[in-house]
Amino acid sequence: MARFGRLVTAMVTPFNDQLQVDYEKTEHLIDHLIATGSEGIVISGTTGESPTLSGAEKLALFKHAVMYAKGKCHIIAGTGSNDTAASIEFTQAAQSVGVDAVMLVAPYYSRPSQEGLYAHFKALADSTDLPVMLYNVPGRSAVNITAQTTLRLAELPNVVCVKEASGNLAQMAQIIEHAPEGFELYSGDDSLTLPTLSIGGVGIVSVASHVVGRQMTDMINAFLAGNHADAASLHRKLMPVFEGLFAYPSPGPTKVALEKLGIEVGGVRLPLVELNEQEKAFVHSLLV
């Protein structure tokens, strides 16, 4: 089914020279992503430097993206945090500007129990009419949404999919096997795109698609057409890009790669810092 498409990009946030959100660059980036295969775009996820964007900046980005790209691709707003009440308020604000769905990250830092995770996500889902994408990323949030908790949440009418960045294929397989009809699983790791498809996942919420979107689309289409050897070959060839874009703190490498391709997106906000010349040279080498 792939409600939001097979290839969804967790978009970087373009900045100007003063590290303020640049809306003209954002439009150019959206055009680039759509042209290279992205069927959905996540605005203000981790790759979008959400921790350093104010609420007002995020809402303005959501609104602009909806106005610019509505009908061309799905716009998914990253509205989750570790504050349930604040996340509810922000999710409702995002709904008011017309986004297609929201992505809700596991509450970071707080490390709630599984019951706490369920109550948090249920409260958020109950507060909106929008489709909800859960986002499990224990490497950043310090808490894993277990398969059992994901499956409980999947019973809620508007919890429609999960971005699984746990790296745990066994957990992912359990979710896919036991999920109610219509609930979908996306890989949250580019390097697991093909393995996830092979066990029944529907696609990828990607970072690498900023720079290899066409190749990833070819790989996904090859797999879906039954050309598994071709898909595997493409996946192997893309692995250096999948891994290299995380050789240094993300999204620094992705922004450098985009600049190399002629897509201007500016720098990164502190506490992230610009890549040095040696690091930039490594990123450039991935694109050869």
As annotated, the active-site residues are 135, 163
250 is written with which tokens? 């993300």
Pick from 237, 212, 238, 233: nearest CA to 222: 233
Q: Which residues contact 42 (CB under 8 A, 6 or more apart)?
A: 8, 9, 10, 11, 48, 76, 77, 78, 103, 205
Pick from 199, 127, 206, 200: nearest CA to 165: 206
Pick from 8, 7, 6, 94: nearest CA to 50: 94
Q: Which residue has the tokens 């879906």?
A: 224
CB-CB contact of 222 with 238 (8 Å) = no
Q: Which amino acid is at 136?
A: N
* Kind plus residue range of the DSSP H or E element containing 22: none
Q: What is the CA radius of gyration of the chain?
A: 18
61 is written with which tokens? 């980005």
d(CA 125, CA 117): 12
Render 183-215 in DSSP notation, one character per residue: -EEEES-GGGHHHHHHTT--EEEESTHHHHHHH
Q: Which amino acid is at 284?
A: H
